[in-house]
Amino acid sequence: MKTRPALELADVRRIAAAAEAEAMAHGWAVTIAIADDGGHLIWLMRLDGAPVVSAHIAPAKARTAALGRRESKKYEESINGGRTSMLSLPQLDAMVEGGVPIVVDGFCVGAVGVSGVRSAEDAQVASAGVAALGAA
């Protein structure tokens, strides 16, 4: 039986603080969502001025990255490349850039999803959160 790492509340707070700092440094009003390895929401923070719908999109991006064990951008690229059958994948309903998995010691332990600005900027905020954990 394998032993695997798991996110703790202190980890989630560190990820959220770093993502928030990145967003604030650029003046980006976003929602930051953090999900566990099963895609279940464990943190949601909507910054002042973030679009209301971003509170739905950010968790969906996090879920997509956690369940897929890859950045949500990879699905978007595949779909844009003509593989429209990807749209039928179950439980993955935000297949656009902005979801970043959290990988520790080769295990996906969760993901960060961000929504509110351009997708590349969402991904930048999510990646800053993941980097604060020292995850790969």
Read off the CATH number of the domain in which 95 is found: 3.30.450.150
Whether residue 2 is contained in a domain is answered as no
Domain of residue 61, residue span: 9-133
| Nearest CA-CA partner of 54 in 65, 46, 62 | 46
Whether residue 3 is contained in a domain is answered as no
Domain tally for the chain?
1
Whether residue 37 is contained in a domain is answered as yes
pLDDT at 2: 87
98 contacts 35 by C-beta, under 8 angstroms: no
Helix or strand (DSSP H, E) at 36: strand 31-36
Q: Give the predicted TM-score (pTM) of the model.
A: 0.95
Residue 16 corresponds to which tokens in the numbers above? 């959220």
pLDDT at 135: 58
Whether residue 1 is contained in a domain is answered as no
Whether residue 112 is contained in a domain is answered as yes
CA distances from 66 to 51, 107, 135 (A): 23, 11, 14
Q: Which residues of the chain fall below pLDDT 50?
A: none
pLDDT at 92: 85
